[in-house]
Structure formats: structure tokens, C-alpha cells
Amino acid sequence: MNKKSSPARFQNILNVFFLNLDFLKQQSEKIRENLKDLEALLISINSQDHPEVGEFNDFISCLNRELEKLTTCLGSSSFEHLKNKMKAGPKSQVSEASNVPVKKILLVEDDPLTARLITHYLKDLQVEIIAFTEAEAALDYLGSSPADLILLDLLLPGMDGFQFLKEVKKRESAREIPVIIMSSISGEKEILKALEMGVVDYITKPFAPRIVNAKVKHYLNLS
């Protein structure tokens, strides 16, 4: 790893790590719901006819206990505080190579795999990627921290991409930040709506890595 770019790369890896933890939390909650259904089903099965039922019940109980610990850990206020603090990164990160502040990209994408891919596409650029899975959290971040570019998905849980964009344009401190839509929605109506709302570009999924890289470099004025 190039030591001169390691702070930004570390922050990028860290943010994707927290994205994965958010995804893990969501999946663990779904698994716990599945386990409840299984437990209800197993009650109706005669354990004398199916001796393996007792063993499976023990496994479910063990899994429930571990998932409870995981959910408690990931849902704690101390974890949320640490996550937000680490996501924000250093207040003024500077490239040792050029003595120029590292460009910050706000990535709003709820799919961890897509977030990892985008981060990978941009790994050779001198940028820091601040990633969020929800638009509301990204807006909170913009309220106290600047960004040089926003990469925005449209299909998000809760507030969608268009609503997020509308809120960004209301803010004097954020309305001039260039926004690139990165979405699986490829309809002419949605693309025109996004452009009319002030986005600088619209990239449809699946992404071509070189195009993503080139567009980000262009809008950040990176050589």
C-alpha cells in the first residue's frame, strides 16, 4: 500500500466495514424472525417420532442467544457514537504527496456490495469516501461536514434519492455540491427528473469501472 495515500484508503475501508456491519444487523434481525417461525413449527412436531427435533431446538436456542448479543452490540448508543465519529474521519486530511486536502466523496448507497465495488473503482484516486446506507444519516453528516462530490442511489430505505436531493438543494452550504446519480433505474422520466433537479450526471447500473473513475475525476478536477 502506498503510504502517502494510506489515510484516505484506511477511511474508505473503514466506511465499507461499517456498511457491512449495518447489513449484518439487518440480516440478523431477519434471521431472528425466521427462528421464531421455526420454533413455532417445531412445537407441533412430535419429538418422540423425530428425536432430532430436540437437538435442533438446542441449536436454535444457542443461535438466538448469540444473535441477541450481536443485536445488542450493534444497536448500542456507544457503537453508534463510535461509528459516526469514525465515519467523519479527520477534520482536515491532507495528502503528504501534494499538500492538498483530500477530496471527500459522500456515497449514499444501501447495498454493501455496490458500495464495495464503487470504493474499489476509486481506490487509486486521492479521495476519501464517506459511505451511508440511509439518506437521513447522510443529511445529518452534511449538516456538519463538507463534501466535494455526492454519489447517490435513488432506491433507498426511508427517504429516497429524489427526496434527499431536494433536501440538499435547500441547503445553502450543500446545494453547490455536484451530485452523480448511480442507479438501476434507467427510465427516461427518472433521468430527466434528476437532471432537472440539478444533478451533474446519471450513471446506470451495472457500472463500467473506467467510466465511474473518469467521471469522478472530471467532477473533482483530479488530474
Residue 53 placed within a domain: no
pLDDT number for residue 37? 83
Residue 174, pLDDT score = 94
Cα angle 214-181-217, degrees, rounded to a multiple of 5? 20
In this prediction, residue 93 carries a pLDDT of: 45
**Residue at 157 is within a domain:** yes
The C-alpha cell that represents 82 in the structure block: 463510535
- pLDDT of the residue at 88: 56
In a domain, 134, yes or no: yes
- CATH (domain of 130): 3.40.50.2300
Residues of the chain predicted below pLDDT 50 = 1-5, 90-97
User: What pLDDT shows up at residue 68?
Assistant: 86
| Residue 192 belongs to a domain | yes
pLDDT confidence of residue 81: 73
How does pLDDT run across 155-173, given as a tens digit for each residue? 999 999 999 999 999 999 9
The pLDDT of residue 145 is 87
59 is a domain residue: no
Question: Which strands form 103-108's sheet, in the order they lie side by side?
Answer: 127-132, 103-108, 149-152, 179-183, 201-204
Question: Tell me, what's the pLDDT at 87?
Answer: 58
Compute how many other C-beta atoms are within 10 angstroms of the C-beta atom of residue 156. 23
| Number of separate domains in the chain | 1
DSSP string, the chain: --GGGHHHHHHHHHHHHHHHHHHHHHHHHHHHHHHHHHHHHHHTS-TTT-THHHHHHHHHHHHHHHHHHHHHHHTSHHHHHHHHHHHH--SS-B-TTT--BPEEEEEE-S-HHHHHHHHHHTTTSSEEEEEESSHHHHHHHHHHS--SEEEE-S--SSS-HHHHHHHHHH-TTTTTS-EEEEES---HHHHHHHHHTT-SEEEESSPPHHHHHHHHHHHTT--
Q: Residue 35: inside a domain, yes or no?
A: no
Grid cell, residue 198, equals 440539478
Full domain range(s) for residue 121 = 89-219
In a domain, 172, yes or no: yes
The pLDDT of residue 5 is: 47
Residue 204 covered by a domain: yes
Instruction: Please give the pLDDT value at position 1.
Output: 41
Q: What is the pTM of this model?
A: 0.64
